[in-house]
Amino acid sequence: MQAVLKAPRQGGNQWKRLPKMALRLFNTRTRSVEEFIPRDPAGKKVGIYCCGPTVHNYAHIGNFRTFVFADLLRRYLGFRGYEVRHVMNITDVEDKIIGAARASGITAQEHTLRYEKAFFEDFNALKCLPPDESPRATEFIEPIVELIGKLVDRGLAYRATDGSVYFSIEKYRKAGHQYGQLVNLNFDQMRVGERVSADEYDKESFADFALWKAQVPDDGSVTWPSPWGSGRPGWHIECSAMSMRLLGASFDMHLGGEDLVFPHHEDEIAQSEGAGLQEPGQPFVKYWVHASHLLVEGKKMSKSLGNFYTLRDLQAKGFDGREIRYVLLSANYRASLNFTLESLNGARTALARLDECLGKLEELRGGETAPAPDLLDAFRQAMDDDLNISAAWGCVFDWVREANRRLSENAVSPEQASAWLAAWAGIDSVLGIGVKRDSEAPAEIVALLEARQAARKARDFQRADAIRDELKAAGWVIEDTPKGPRPKRI
């Protein structure tokens, strides 16, 4: 799918004032960067659906690149004044889940609940805002069966002899629909009419796809009744049913990683538009927005290649969710991002610079002041340009450099510090990086700091120095500030 995604732009200095723009995003459906205009006539409400995790195992940080991108977009729409309703489903019925549950001798539900819980722990650690709704596929069987019934009634789906139900691409096209709205397809080379029942497709193959999969012995108790016999839903139909049930037959934005463009999203369009629930002339989804993959040495990070890290792997190496979020947000969403452990060290250094500057401004802050307009404007201009996060970070670090210069000259007034911090609060409502606070030092470091202060008060300088050395060995120094001593990472 790389071909439909344009080359990344480079970040840069965005300080110069540009005319105010609307938010523009690359729409995979039109293969172009378009101005974002919500469907809501009042221009306020925005509905977003992001394909969520398949909870068969821990998600890897490649998966999280997509979810952090969805979080960034959702936060930015909020910053732009939209009222966002963000739906992210949980795929909790699927071939791999059934296989994994059988292998570990537990029920599929026990298996999926375990990994769903782990997913949300990681999601929170990465400072992603909770979606407004996280529907589980297994709790939407009724609307799924209803939707399949509509497709059967309209002659676009058929029951095979084993009781599975397939979507007929040929009939869909003959009914005047376009199959291939997100990708250009060569129908002459396609094996139209051939059926594929697996959830996973060979990218080159092309076939009618399963809406309902007849029960097989391996499914165990993972089965539901339907007018076509017992079985379970196919993956694509789950997303069509859940998104339309929660956001309406037409909604604003559908997100996911680039690997979902075809066939998953193309099939979602076919099912949803084939059911004919939209108002005349309205598409199922107005903007399709896809994130590029996270790479490792030039290859997609994936379970099947074995080249993946989970968040937990990186936490075990001493990195925190904030640092990992920073790395995942370090490149524009359409640019491929090559993951290295070195980039996490770079994140630590960059965030320490930011924290130090914010800490100094915090000490100077005085009174309530409006946010610094230049800084906010520059940030907005960068983000309006198809979420140009590289340019947005450019604005932030240009500002940090400028603030540090003026701080070193004692040339920052309390009002200026407040104005900058207020602008930063707005920016951070989007970036979700937060400020590292003193209290974020581990409890034992805070305890050592307090013990050192007590020793100094008691004029036991030998002990105070010993504690200082102990802190240093643990990677912390004590910085004297107008608000008293505080721990700082070396």
**Binding site residues, ligand AMP, CB under 6 A:** 51, 53-54, 62-63, 65-66, 91, 256-257, 259-260, 291, 293-294, 300-302
Smallest gap, in angstroms, from Cβ of residue 55 to ligand AMP? 8
65 binds, among ligand AMP, Zn ion, none (CB under 5 to 8 A by kind): ligand AMP
SS3 state of residue 232: strand
377 binds, among Zn ion, ligand AMP, none (CB under 5 to 8 A by kind): none
Q: Is the separation of the CB atoms in 373 and 322 below 8 Å?
A: no
34 binds, among Zn ion, ligand AMP, none (CB under 5 to 8 A by kind): none
Cβ nearer to ligand AMP, comparing 129 with 160? 129
Smallest gap, in angstroms, from Cβ of residue 188 to ligand AMP? 29
Pairing of strands 294-296, 337-338: parallel
- Give contact residues for Zn ion (rule: CB under 5 A): 51, 239
Cβ nearer to ligand AMP, comparing 113 with 352? 113
The residues pairing with 210 across neighbouring beta strands, listed in sequence order, are 166
Cβ nearer to ligand AMP, comparing 54 with 240? 54
Cβ nearer to ligand AMP, comparing 143 with 257? 257
239 binds, among ligand AMP, Zn ion, none (CB under 5 to 8 A by kind): Zn ion
Smallest gap, in angstroms, from Cβ of residue 59 to ligand AMP? 6
Cβ nearer to ligand AMP, comparing 295 with 435? 295
Give 231's DSSP letter: E
Smallest gap, in angstroms, from Cβ of residue 125 to ligand AMP? 17
Pairing of strands 476-481, 484-489: antiparallel
Cβ nearer to ligand AMP, comparing 262 with 284? 262
Smallest gap, in angstroms, from Cβ of residue 259 to ligand AMP? 5
Cβ nearer to ligand AMP, comparing 202 with 409? 202
Give the number of other CB atoms < 10 A from CB of residue 451: 16
Smallest gap, in angstroms, from Cβ of residue 239 to Zn ion? 3
With CA atoms as reference, report the closest residue to 162 among 195, 129, 120, 187.
195
DSSP string, 345-400: HHHHHHHHHHHHHHHHHHHH--S-----HHHHHHHHHHHHBT--HHHHHHHHHHHH
Q: Is the separation of the CB atoms in 159 and 238 below 8 Å?
A: no
The tokens for 394 are 């450019």
Q: In the bound complex, which residue of the shown chain has the CB atom lying closest to ligand AMP? A: 257
The tokens for 395 are 């604005």
DSSP string, 323-346: HHHHHHTSS-TTS-EE--HHHHHH
